[in-house]
Amino acid sequence: MNRFSYTKTHTLEEAIHEVIPNDGTKFIAGGTNLIDLMRANIERPDHLIDITHLDLHQIEETEQGGLRLGALAKNSDTAYHELVQKRYPLLAKAILAGASPQLRNMATNGGNLLQRTRCYYFYDTATPCNKRIPGQGCSAIHGYNRIHAILGTSDYCIATHPSDMCVALAALDAIVNVKGREGERTIAFNDFHRLPDDAAHIDSTLRQGELITSIELPAKGFEKHYQYVKVRDRRSYAFALVSVAAALNLDGDSIAEARIALGGVAHKPWRDVEAETFLQGKVAEPENFEKAAEMILKEAKGYKYNMFKIELAKRAIVRALTEARDLQTPEPLNCYTYNRHHQL
């Protein structure tokens, strides 16, 4: 850990204007990711701005009939919020699939979006990593890459974005509201995270000094037919090898609208509009789900230890879509019912 200074801010304006536009200043929210990275000497901010006292904790309905999630609302408060449970159960389920209750109690919605990859090499300063130090090389490409990406990778980086919450937000077409010195802007969820290309050290399109103020959900919540399938190595406290957020609007047997987002396979939550369009108007049956899965994975590229993810992702897509279709009256979600759902 390096030396740093620390200020606690109470207003948004204060927070934004304290930021000197260089990489040395960082916001700190729940700290569940940033502090770990500082201790491992990976993030080395010289100044921390504590934003936890800003007035960004609310979860409230928007004029457009959607829901606004404050950037500082805790992951657990979001997942257990009545309106989220009722109208966006897909999001509730995805959040509850992540981390552990203790972490979710600390983690904020804004921080969740900006958590960094769990690539082993990124976390170990003894090894080369382009994401940590551009130009050093990527140890994972020829190393132990079991947890790495199969879609949208580059020769510079094959890391994944680790979030569960973001996979549901991608499927739900959320919008990220941000504010910086130059004013406010909105970023479509799909444009928020980026692919590694040749600049693996940049995870998102957020500009230096910009603060996430909220995440906005559109009115459509797909609360009747949704599923979040998380395939992982143990039943809790493990990141997804592959995860799928699936949401359907059904018109009798056929699909009026489909949303599919994948986690654990790319540098960002992976959406494939082509496959979603393909499903539109089709009968909601495994055969069509399989075809959609094939479309999504057709460009996939595996590495030595993660080849299995390609077939696994296909099966997880079919599973998620099938269960979304078959969903009966869902019960309120909490971490216990969540676990029961996944109890074998």
Ligand X SMILES: Cc1cc2nc3c(=O)[nH]c(=O)nc-3n(C[C@H](O)[C@H](O)[C@H](O)COP(=O)(O)OP(=O)(O)OC[C@H]3O[C@@H](n4cnc5c(N)ncnc54)[C@H](O)[C@@H]3O)c2cc1C
Q: Binding to another protein by residue 142, rule CB under 8 A?
A: yes
By the rule CB under 6 A, 25 interacts with ligand SF4:
no
**Residue 333 DSSP symbol:** P
Q: Identify which range of 33-41, 60-68, 273-281, 284-292 contacts ligand X by CB under 6 A.
A: 33-41
CA distance linking residue 261 with residue 168, whole number of Å:
7
Q: Residue 259, SS3?
A: strand
> In the range 58-117, which residues lie near another protein by CB under 8 A?
none
* Residue 292: CB minimum distance to another protein, A: 16
User: Are 215 and 109 spatial neighbours (Cβ–Cβ below 8 Å)?
Assistant: yes
Asked if 119 interacts with ligand SF4 (CB under 6 A), we say yes
Residue 158 in contact with ligand SF4, rule: CB under 6 A: yes
Closest listed residue to residue 201, CA positions, set 41, 42, 310, 53 = 42
Region binding ligand X by CB under 6 A among candidate stretches 28-36, 125-133, 149-157, 302-310:
28-36
Specify the stretch interacting with another protein by CB under 8 A; choose among 53-61, 137-145, 193-201, 213-221: 137-145
Closest CB to another protein among residues 115, 214: 115
Tokens at residue 129, please? 């990593």
Q: Which of 68, 74, 116, 319 binds another protein (CB under 8 A)?
A: 319
Min dist. Cβ of residue 283 to ligand X (A)? 33
303 binds, among ligand SF4, ligand X, another protein, none (CB under 5 to 8 A by kind): none
Residue type, 203: D
Measured CA to CA, the distance from residue 54 to residue 174 in angstroms comes to: 22
User: What burial letters (b/e) apply to 122-155, b meaning 16+ CB within 10 Å?
Assistant: bbeeebbbbbbeeeeebbbbebebbbbbbbbbbe
Which of 15, 72, 140, 297 touches ligand SF4 by CB under 6 A? 140
Three-class DSSP category at 78: helix
Other Cβ atoms within 10 Å of 234 Cβ, number: 6
Residue 31 binds ligand X (CB under 6 A): yes
What is the DSSP code string of 153-191?
A: --SS-------SHHHHHHHTT-EEEEEETTEEEEEEHHH
Q: Is 341 in the site for another protein (CB under 8 A)?
A: no
Stretch 210-239: interaction string toward ligand X, x if CB under 6 A = -xx--------------------------x
The residue among 258, 237, 240 whose CA lies nearest residue 312 is 240
Angle, in degrees to the nearest 10, between helices 335-342 and 89-96: 80
Among 130, 163, 214, 288, interactor with ligand SF4 by CB under 6 A: 130
Is position 270 an interface residue for another protein (rule: CB under 8 A)?
Answer: no
# residues contacting another protein (CB under 8 A):
36
Among 16, 19, 25, 34, binds ligand X (CB under 6 A): 34
Helical pair 308-326 and 286-297, crossing angle rounded to 10 deg:
140
177 bridge partner residues: 186, 214
> Residue numbers of the site for ligand X (CB under 6 A)?
26-34, 36, 51, 71, 75, 98-99, 103, 106-108, 110-112, 114-115, 162-165, 211-212, 239
Q: Which residues bind ligand SF4 (CB under 6 A)?
A: 117, 119, 121-122, 129-131, 138-140, 148, 157-159, 200
